[in-house]
Amino acid sequence: MGNVAVIGAQWGDEGKGKVVDWLASRADIVVRFQGGHNAGHTLVVGNETYKLSLLPSGLVRGKLGIIGNGVVIDPEALLAEIERVRAQGLRVDPETLRIAENAVLILPVHSALDRAREDARGDRRIGTTGRGIGPAYEDKVARRAIRICDLAEPETIADKLDELLLHHNTLLRGLGAATFSKQELYDRLLAIAPKILPFAEPVWERLDEARRAGKRILFEGAQAVMLDVDHGTYPFVTSSNTVAATAASGSGTGPSSIGTVLGIAKAYTTRVGAGPFPTELHDDIGKQLGERGHEFGTVTGRRRRCGWFNAAMVRQAVKVGGIHGLALTKLDVLDGFPELHICTGYMIDGKAFRHLPAGQAAQAAAQPVYEVMEGWQGSCRGARSWAALPAQAIKYVRRIEELVEAPVTLVSTSPERDDTILVRDPFEG
């Protein structure tokens, strides 16, 4: 059996948490490979609901969790999350969780700068969570970041803080925000070091050993392809690459180890924050989708914008994300709608497009071209087989397959883990 990488095929919040949790029962190791605590995965297990931001979802199933080097880590947020899930009965310790020693840390100065920049943008905000993700990635590529391994070297921390604060305090002052002292950050890092370092190791080595031993690895992405810093709706994107190729670089393994790529997509479309959204609905249907789907961001708590399924966007995500098959979630939310619309392309200034152009003005001007399908009157809720679905719901899924040019290999029909229709096990390739 091979490995599997799970990525979002829209703008995030597609229900990756449930799918990863469901797949984790077939895996030995679950790896987070990019993003930060701006991600949010909600897992419903029996009567317990787990809300995870940094911890790999496989921990809920007792699997070894790994946070890869591609993740930026707020150590205080991580420790708070560990304590919260421990209180819910999960075991999280250095035997169940390992963290890449070369992963970059998010510091309080990063989140302060993130918020100050967003405030300065005014009505041109990009919708960042303000948690310091972007500034931390900036420090990484500028080679001034403090990493997990630096926590074992107080002198290294002291030297790096000089350069880091020279940069960030200058920006904070220019934005009219409070600055940070070196001693404050130094003391906080030294205090947190003994709590974080026991989890640290060269995870690339563990993953290589696991691969050689034939163990099954599940790579868990955050956000989604259309939030990718290169391939998404820039600048309304996250600060990392979210495509499946990042699973290799973000965990320290070769690309041949990734295996099957499973893209997650809702049966409709949602987005949190600002940015283009061609199929967004501002009417009662959009409101119904939000209410039925309980569309509030796990991390932000903000109501998600809702709209019809955008096959043109998901087709683009399939191509650039390397997706082999789709997991279609929340099909039950569409129960009872008399008709359903699927976006098959766009019109921009009188010209037809099959994909969303890269230009910001063009993206904002894109008007969806719809194909209309009859809805269904029966219920998909809780269905666990094709036979349990209304015939028109099956037609809807089949049409999505044709339009996005990828097979639907899994269908989710409720938040419950077992309310899932499996067409093909991703671990079987």
Greater confidence (55 vs 40) lies with 55
275-313 burial, b at 16+ Cβ within 10 Å, e below that, comes to bbbbbbbeeebbebbbebbebebbbbeeebbbbbbbbbb
**In this structure, what are the phi and psi dihedrals at residue 145, rounded to the nearest 5 degrees?**
-70, 150
- CATH classification number, 265-428, choose in 3.90.1150.10, 3.40.190.10, 3.90.170.10, 2.40.50.100: 3.90.170.10
> What integer pLDDT is reported at residue 299 of this predicted model?
60
What is the Cα–Cα distance from 264 to 12, expressed in whole angstroms?
Answer: 9
Q: Give the position of tokens 């630096």.
A: 150
Name the strand (E) or helix (H) holding 334. Answer: none
Does the domain at 4-100+200-260 match CATH 1.10.3720.10? Answer given as: no
Q: Quick one: fold of 104-196?
A: Adenylosuccinate Synthetase, subunit A; domain 2 (1.10.300)
What is the per-residue pLDDT across 101-158, written as a single tens digit (0 to 9) for each?
999 999 999 999 999 998 888 878 777 788 999 999 999 999 999 999 999 999 999 9
Round the average pLDDT of the chain to a whole number and report it.
93
Measured distance CA(311)–CA(267) in Å, rounded: 10
Q: Quick one: which of 254, 275, 353 has its CA closest to 312?
A: 353
Rounded to an integer, what distance in angstroms lies between the CA atom of residue 229 and that of residue 249? 15
Angle among Cα 8, 13, 17 to the nearest 5 degrees reads 80
User: pLDDT tens-digit profile of 217-243?
Assistant: 999 998 999 999 999 999 999 999 999
The span from the CA of 302 to the CA of 105, in Å, is 26
Q: Which residue has the tokens 């926590």?
A: 151
**233: Cβ contacts below 8 Å, ≥ 6 apart:** 11, 226, 227, 275, 276, 356, 363
Per domain, the residue ranges of the chain are: 4-100+200-260, 104-196, 265-428
d(CA 13, CA 90): 23
- Band (pLDDT 50/70/90 cuts) for residue 297 is low
SS3 51: strand
Span of 79-83, 214-218, 297-301, 420-424 with lowest mean pLDDT? 297-301
Q: What pLDDT was estimated at residue 153?
A: 97
3-class secondary-structure state, position 310: strand
What value does the mean pLDDT take over residues 81-105?
96
**Of the spans 115-129, 311-325, 413-427, which averages the highest pLDDT?**
311-325
Give the amino acid at 115.
Answer: R
324 is a catalytic site residue: no
* 160-213 pLDDT, tens digit each: 999 999 999 999 999 999 999 999 999 999 999 999 999 999 999 999 999 999
**Residue 37 annotated to the active site:** no
Contact by Cβ (8 Å): 67, 94: no
340/202 Cα distance (integer angstroms): 49
Q: Taking 80 as the threshold, does the pLDDT of residue 364 lie above it? A: yes
Catalytic residue among 41, 110, 231, 324: 41
Exactly one of 13, 74, 114, 419 is catalytic; name it: 13
How far is the CA of 55 from the CAs of 93, 110, 301, 318, 349, in angstroms?
A: 12, 21, 19, 26, 45
